[in-house]
Structure 1
Amino acid sequence: MAALLCFSCSHCLAALFFSLFSVIVLVHADVHSFNVEKKQVEKCDFFQGSWVFDDSFDPLYDSSTCPFIGGGFDCLKNGRLDRNYLKYRWQPTACELPRFNGIDFLEKYRNKKILFVGDSLSNNMWRSLLCMLHSAVPTSSYTFSSKGLLSSFSLQDYGISVNWLKNGFLVDLAYESIGKVLKLDSISTGNMWLGADVLIFNSYHWWTHSGHLQSWGYFQYGNMTVKEMDHMEAYKIAMTTWGNWVDNNIDPSKTRVFFQGVAAVHINAQEWGEPTPKDCSKQTEPLKGSTYPGPPVPGEAILKTVLSQTTKPVHLLDITLLTQLRKDGHPSVYAGGGPKFVDCSHWCLAGVPDTWNQLLYAVLVQ
């Protein structure tokens, strides 16, 4: 009998030891898996890749139930019939892009403030993020308002605010006796950017405007005021001014700074080998592969040079290539302005800006 008890106890101890060992191995495996995935995220170049058609891929929100899209970006509501553009996902060349997890995003940034500062493409990305977060917690109460240049969104259950401040140049545009003056070395509104936990800046497209689209009359730099100068040279000076502001005002332990890179426009179909139609009209699929056959976007190199010279960390969301390949992603004639109005600068929602926010998420949570 004693022998049987001894055998039974030994068996129990062995089983207990094996069980504990298994738990330790499993925990170690989970930690190891997490560390490997984290290292892959840190090392991966998410911005080199191609668009892959995936019939199982669905947008992270339904545009018909998102109250934040705005008329110009709601392509389906404005009559777009083809829907394959919603089935393309961005596939980095050497790794996987983490799928956006709205609950995880909200938990990690509970009681935080996120601020977008930029032009209408910044607005495009901001509205995309609002739809993604709202879809993750559709029953949570929210506030949404616009006052002047500031548009605000908050989710009370999480204490998070995600706002957009319209500012297409980042530097000052002043109204003076001679007219509107773009001051390339002056930022007087930077105090409005302070206090955010995450800042996402954007500036490029307004700098390319000319003629009746140009929203300034003069450039000012130091003691020099001129009617005209090379717009890309002006852009470089202004972005350097912005970079200096970041270096002088941002505490990286409190605020993470991003720059929404230069998004492509598709106003010349000859760039991708199609003589007609002349722009993004009737485009229903991306360009294949990982290279764009057209010329580079001038602002891309300028921006990268400026960011390389900042002493404080700024994360570039390098969206140029992935937007160059998406000639099909624009509102085109489905921007709500009638058949004669063709928008080849902004992007349909749901659509390409959702990927920008996936890239933001991948960097924020690593």
Structure 2
Amino acid sequence: MMRGAASSGVVAVMLMMLVALNQLESAIANDSLSSNKSSCNIYRGSWVYDNAYPLYDSNSCPFIERQFNCKSNGRPDRDYLKYRWQPSGCNIPRFNGLDFLERLKGKKLMFVGDSLSLNQWQSLTCLLHNAAPKAKFTISRSPSGLSVFSFPAYNATIMFSRNAFLVDIVGAPPKRVMKLDSISTGSLWKTADVLVFNSWHWWLHTGRKQPWDAIEYGNVTVRDMDRLVAYEKAIRTWAMWIDRNIDHSKTEVFFQGVSPDHAQSKDWSKQGGNGSCIGETKPVMGSNYPAGPHPAELVVEKVIKTMKNPARLMDVTLMSQLRKDGHPSVYGFGGHTTPDCSHWCLAGVPDSWNQLLYSDLFHS
């Protein structure tokens, strides 16, 4: 009887120690940021090689999408898994999945955007599953484009709503109209406690991949327009919708920034050329990208500054520009037929996006 009581006591003490350790890690993380918060931009820095990475094994994530699992798809090199983002002015906390789940208890986090948002959603769900591998989870995907991942024990939900443009597209071919000043799907967004938006890549599609036949803004309808101009009009519509409909005392709003592609090696190579990410195995070292700022990112920054209650910009563009090695390339869903220099391998770059989200959301 005494042995049983002693054993129970040991277990209780161990649990208390684990909780205390978790709290200590969070406190240290807060101190590391707060000590030089005024001079630290966590989105400016460089990639450093770290043998403690990756944060999880992609093959241990049972629901990972095939297109992101480069390792399983035969990618032979492993260095792309080993890089950690290091801000120039401070340290950021290592991603702590259990702490994330504790803080997300009873709440919903929703990613809204295109397949780059899917990339980040997939990363976060793998990170959290890795932190609590024995915790039961549910996952569902609907034809409407909503994916829902939940941990019942924590009453925590992480969602992805596929919405590549954020504004409306109405009608059927050949009369599909993109309405740059209209958002009718926002009721779903109001259900979340944390919103992370993204939009850009689909704005560049033409021909059969272009999902509209005309563009409408106000009383004017045209067959096409400068895509960056159209993008800015849509992002302004999104910003006005957020200002009018979201209570920032209850809901945190982020914009993911613009995830770059690496389709042309002239953007990072002094030799120039029209190569792509195929065969790239190392990041661009240092803190500067030769091609300079991304034009769509500049649009997002400009629009957010005009908001009454500005969304928090996850300025992941530069850090991602430096990772020409991080794409599936020929080890994605399309293989050698259609190399992928837009999405990201998992484990990989989106894990660092989520580390920064964790830092910005819970430790800023």
TM-score normalised over the length of structure 2: 0.89
1:291 Cα offset (Å):
0.5
Aligned pair 1:204/2:200, yes or no?
yes
Q: Structure 2 unaligned runs (5+)?
A: 1-23
Provide the residue aligned with 2:321 in structure 1: 324
DSSP-derived class of the 1:45 partner: coil
DSSP-derived class of the 1:206 partner: helix
The answer to whether the 8 A contact 2:36-2:89 is kept is no
Aligned positions of 1:79-228 closer than 5 A: 79-148=74-143, 149-175=145-171, 179-228=175-224
Amino acid at match of 1:236: E
Provide the residue aligned with 1:304 in structure 2: 301
The answer to whether the 8 A contact 2:169-2:177 is kept is yes
The answer to whether the 8 A contact 1:250-1:312 is kept is no
Partner Cα separation in structure 2 for residue 230 and residue 264 of structure 1: 19
The answer to whether the 8 A contact 1:124-1:346 is kept is yes
Partner Cα separation in structure 2 for residue 284 and residue 77 of structure 1: 17
Partner Cα separation in structure 1 for residue 171 and residue 330 of structure 2: 34
Partner Cα separation in structure 1 for residue 97 and residue 341 of structure 2: 29
Larger radius of gyration: 1
Partner Cα separation in structure 2 for residue 63 and residue 176 of structure 1: 39
Cα deviation 1:193-252 (Å, max 9, x = unaligned): 112110011111111222332221110001111001111100000000000000001111
Partner Cα separation in structure 1 for residue 209 and residue 25 of structure 2: 55
Partner Cα separation in structure 1 for residue 227 and residue 254 of structure 2: 23
Q: Which among 275, 289, 294 is matched to residue 291 of structure 2?
A: 294
The percentage of aligned residue pairs carrying the same residue is 51
Distance 1:311-1:87 versus aligned 2 partners, 3 A rule: same
Partner Cα separation in structure 2 for residue 169 and residue 248 of structure 1: 19
Q: Structure 1 unaligned runs (5+)?
A: 1-28
Amino acid at match of 1:67: P
Provide the residue aligned with 2:16 in structure 1: none
Provide the residue aligned with 1:21 in structure 2: none
Provide the residue aligned with 2:49 in structure 1: 53
Cα deviation 1:315-342 (Å, max 9, x = unaligned): 1110110111000000000003232220
Partner Cα separation in structure 2 for residue 331 and residue 365 of structure 1: 31
DSSP-derived class of the 1:179 partner: coil
Partner Cα separation in structure 2 for residue 209 and residue 97 of structure 1: 36
Cα deviation 1:272-302 (Å, max 9, x = unaligned): 2245671000000001111111143210110
Amino acid at match of 1:231: R
Number of equivalences: 337
Distance 1:34-1:258 versus aligned 2 partners, 3 A rule: closer
Partner Cα separation in structure 1 for residue 52 and residue 75 of structure 2: 19
Between 1:45-54 and 1:127-136, the stretch displaced more is 45-54
